[in-house]
Structure 1
Amino acid sequence: MKYKHIFFDLDHTLWDFETNSYQTLEELYHVFNLAGRGVTTFAAFYESYVIHNEKLWDRFRKGFITRNDLRSKRFSLTLLDFKIGDEKLAQALSEKFLQVLPFKTALFPYTIEVLEYLTAKNYPLHMITNGFEETQLLKMRNAGIDHFFTHIITSEVAGSLKPYREIFDYAITKAAATATDCVMIGDALELDIVGAYNAGMDQIYFNPKVPATTMQPTHSISCLSELKAIL
């Protein structure tokens, strides 16, 4: 086997973040009766949230805002789009979102099958994720995939975020591996693929929709089942 250790990203790679967050936000929309507060439709609420969430995550990764800023502002800014200036409501939405989201269990097709296949081939599997420790562990446990992984490296514990080299070096050291023995599988070109490349790791770019353009990863796949042909 070319690789001795396999590292996965979690959100958008194994755990279907888009589906799970959509379901969570739809639940919140009804529980908090946002329609009665002037949020015209769930579709409008969801679209606004996604825009603010992505911008704030980018600022968080760059160190411009804190975790608490990210968690609260994505809802307060969304509400302001509908002329609702209610910080208590924004905080309540934030807390409920974090309570509900980790219990959603949608995974990408072939996730379990591929993890079982790799485990049967005696690959040590590890996780490198930018998510928060408690939330990411809950996601994996509730989706029934945590037991596949030897080490679960979150940015919160590593003290660094993808794509910075420090989190990859931390993960490689934790696994008692060397970069050339490892491969990173992820959906985010700038975070997972560029980050792994800069750390000296091979990369498998997983993206069902968007082909790699700015760089050429070691491998590219559009379905997790294609990992069987590589590993």
Structure 2
Amino acid sequence: MYKAILFDLDNTLLDYDFSERDAMQRAVEHHRLPEIANFEWDSFRSVFAPINWTYWIERVQRNLTIGDVLYHSFRDTLEQLGHDYRISSTLAKTYWELFCASCHPMEGANELLGKLHGRYRMGIISNGIGEAQRGRLKTGALDHYFDHLFISDEVGYYKPQREIFDTAVRTLGVDHTEVLFVGDSLQDDYHGAAGAGIDFCYYNPLAKRLDESFMPAYMIHSLSELIQMDVQNQWIKRVPLT
């Protein structure tokens, strides 16, 4: 019987991809970049994505702040496309403000949290940035559902490190066997939960085929399935791994 449910945030409860794209497009339009000769939104996005990902995954090793990551990402993108990159600092600031104030829940997230609230201790484990994760949850009036947020840049550990999961379990005052963790990443979420001895529910909306080496306790294709699994606080059925 579970006493606590922990969730990943991005692309599990909140649509990170939509928020990121929307905030960037609004920032680009705010600074009138589409008026620049030869500026193409699709090209900008396609060049930005790998540059930003590289800075993001290297941020801890290189001791970069989120401001550094965004500034360098926008600067390198504009420079690679042959545009004036002196706007990079203000563009990054505008984007970040817009992103932190955005909230686009995944389908079924609001109903799910409403159903589970008060019946389980609930928390978030996220590799994101505290300012953004807290701001987005507050914007969407979702923050009150959670007893605690465990965000990597605040607690000093990152999924799949066991320490961030142990910190969550200890703070919630439950045993590892009394916790279910729900997430969409096999690399960070599955391995992290498995390493901490916590049951994992794989949120797999695209119905990706699982390699036999992955054995989550549950797999769901929609968040509404979690409601179906919750019967008077008894988790009595396993979702077929198909």
TM-score, scaled relative to structure 1: 0.91
User: Which residue number corresponds to residue 32 of structure 2?
Assistant: 33
CA contact (8 A) 2:27 2:98 kept: no
CA contact (8 A) 1:7 1:183 kept: yes
Q: Distance in 2 between matches of 1:172 and 1:59?
A: 28
CA contact (8 A) 2:100 2:131 kept: no
CA contact (8 A) 1:39 1:82 kept: no
User: Which residue number corresponds to residue 237 of structure 2?
Assistant: none
Give the alignment of 1:102-117 within 5 angstroms.
Answer: 102-117=100-115
Identity of matched residues, %: 27
Deviation at 1:65, TM superposition (A): 4.6
Q: Cα–Cα, structure 1 residues 39 and 154, in superposed 2: closer, same or farther, change >3 Å? A: farther
CA contact (8 A) 1:184 1:201 kept: yes
Can you give the 5+ residue segments of structure 1 that lack an aligned partner in the other structure? none
Deviation sequence 1:122-157 (CA, Å, 0-9, x none): 111111111111221110000111000001111122
Report the AA paired with residue 202 of structure 1.
Answer: D
User: Which residue number corresponds to residue 174 of structure 2?
Assistant: 177
Can you give the 5+ residue segments of structure 2 that lack an aligned partner in the other structure? 231-242
The range that moved more, 44-53 or 170-179, is 44-53
Deviation at 1:38, TM superposition (A): 4.5
Q: Distance in 2 between matches of 1:85 and 1:167?
A: 41
User: Which residue number corresponds to residue 198 of structure 2?
Assistant: 201
Give the alignment of 1:39-188 within 5 angstroms.
Answer: 40-60=39-59, 63-67=61-65, 68-84=67-83, 86=85, 88-119=86-117, 122-188=119-185
SS in 2 for 1:10: coil
Report the AA paired with residue 41 of structure 1.
Answer: E
Report the AA paired with residue 165 of structure 2.
Answer: F
Give the greater-gyration-radius structure (CA).
2
1:7 aligns with 2:6: yes
SS in 1 for 2:5: strand
SS in 2 for 1:60: coil
Q: Distance in 1 between matches of 2:183 and 2:117?
A: 18
The range that moved more, 132-141 or 63-72, is 63-72
CA contact (8 A) 2:129 2:153 kept: yes
Q: Distance in 1 between matches of 2:3 and 2:154?
A: 24
RMSD: 1.8
TM-score, scaled relative to structure 2: 0.87
Q: Cα–Cα, structure 1 residues 165 and 115, in superposed 2: closer, same or farther, change >3 Å? A: same
Q: How many residues are paired up?
A: 227
Deviation at 1:171, TM superposition (A): 1.2
Q: Distance in 2 between matches of 1:140 and 1:174?
A: 20
Report the AA paired with residue 159 of structure 1.
Answer: G
